[in-house]
Structure 1
Amino acid sequence: MTNGGSFESIADFWDEQVGEEGDDFHRLLVRPALLRVLGDVSGLDVLDLGCANGATSRALADLGARVTGVDVSARLIELARQREAARPRGVRYLVGDAAHLPDLADASFDRITASMVLMDIENAEGAIREVARLLRPGGRFVATLFHPCFQIPEG
């Protein structure tokens, strides 16, 4: 993903702003659209690329998916793991670069999400190659992102 160091410096602030379930923008707009396009995830293996503090990963697990969340920020993964320990859902969280995920096997996911993260990935082409490698035949990749003409909402 992008420079992990830059995310480390804002991880706690970001987590505080977004919270356990996500801020209004993610919870009320982005996530419902993402889930609609993903379809029924119950019993499926889902990779949440750029999972941050795990809010979307937890929502997917609550719908019955077997979820792996990956983020470049060790601190955000630590926060996601703390929430997993407090309320276990079976989500596995890994620190990793979306463009290079050697610990994940080929064709191991039915769905892959990248919610509001592709525009922040330094090597987006490499990340898309990894998505193609990790997705099972007939699987689905769903990404949400900001259009460049819009500003990122604050708060």
Structure 2
Amino acid sequence: MSEIRTIPTDDEIAAIHNLIKRSALAAVEFHEVSATRLDENRQREENEDAVDVSLTAEHFIGDGRFGIRLVVKLYPYMGEIGVTVAGEYEVSDAEPIDDTAVRAFGNEVGVMTLVPYLREAVSSLSTRVFGKPLLMPTFERGAVGFDLGAVEK
């Protein structure tokens, strides 16, 4: 099994800079904000500090716009939390929007723009539903994002 490549090449960095110049963040929206607390007799018998985390990134390209979406699912022993947040960007010209440029932009700009929204929602939801804040773990650059594919040599 091969690893995904999330760190951009020099050409992809140039495409990111071009996309940054041509676009503006138009909206940040939540598509899901949910938490479920399990009854005490249904709670998982695990270490109270153990939390399973699934974090994925999605993207779309539309007419004159593109978007980045992050989906997080957390499974602490007492229940589960799901948050989906999306950033939508408008492009200022009619030049086509390149898929690889959007994925590279997502890795370098989009993910880091949206993570604070995810972290706040997870903390707020867990405090309200579980009675204590749950902090989403931090991660290194490139740990979450889009596969940029093989580099041609």
Q: Shorter-chain TM-score: which interval?
A: under 0.3
More strand by percentage: 2
TM-score w.r.t. length of structure 1: 0.25
Higher RCO by CA contacts (8 Å cutoff, separation 6 or greater): 2
Q: Which of the pair has more CA radius of gyration? A: 2
TM-score w.r.t. length of structure 2: 0.25
